[in-house]
A and B are shown apart, each in its own frame.
Chain A
């Protein structure tokens, strides 16, 4: 499985933008980049995903490097509710749909 590398933790002030990086230097051409998050004591929750182009949805934006070896999840205005562990996961397809979670980045939001 292609691996991802994320910082263990990050901090942000409330109402400021947050950029969460992810390195995936061994990504293959068909791997999708998925981001999930897990709020305290809850199940993982989908945030966003993309293949090559940058993506926006109501929760966040995903910026994908041109060589696809890294990506950045952007929360435009962090709120206290965004405090969670954020996981960057590669979807390898080929009939395998399981999600392989790493340790993720624990985001703390300071009021």
Chain B
């Protein structure tokens, strides 16, 4: 069964450093998403991406964040200058983009900002 993959599984970085989280969505999916989950809290939507541009973004997704699909398979989330409060699990998801569609989530990247 096809699955969403994410790398790295864990990332430790210093405050102020840039990080790039990588995802490989399911190959025939059209919509791609990033969510985050701070330890002990709810899963929060960050951004959705379709046809090489941002479709929706939340208030969390400020100028420090960017997304890109640099080639036909990868989908990346970049945090330009990390803050302590960016420490969280980051989940990538993908689907065909309809309201009744199933979103498939990756296993997540645990980001720790020191």
Contacts and interface: CB of A to CB of B under 8 A. Distances in A.
Contact of B43 (A92, A97, A101): A101
A44 B105 contact: yes
Given A97-B97, A98-B56, A44 B43 contact: yes
B104 interface: yes
B42 A103 contact: yes
Interface centre among B48, B55, B105 (most CB of A within 10 A): B105
A18 to B, nearest CB: 22
Nearest to A32: B100
Contacts of B33: 97-98
B103 A46 contact: yes
Chain B contact-residue range equals 20 to 34
A87 B31 CA distance: 21
A80 interface: no
Contact of A42 (B101, B104, B108): B108
Given A43-B91, A93-B99, A100 B45 contact: yes
- 9 closest Cβ contacts across the A-B interface? A93-B99, A43-B105, A101-B43, A98-B45, A46-B102, A91-B99, A43-B91, A44-B105, A32-B100
Interface of A: 30, 32, 38, 42-46, 49, 51, 87, 91-94, 96-103
Interface of B: 4, 31, 33, 35, 42-45, 48, 55-56, 58, 91, 93, 95, 97-108
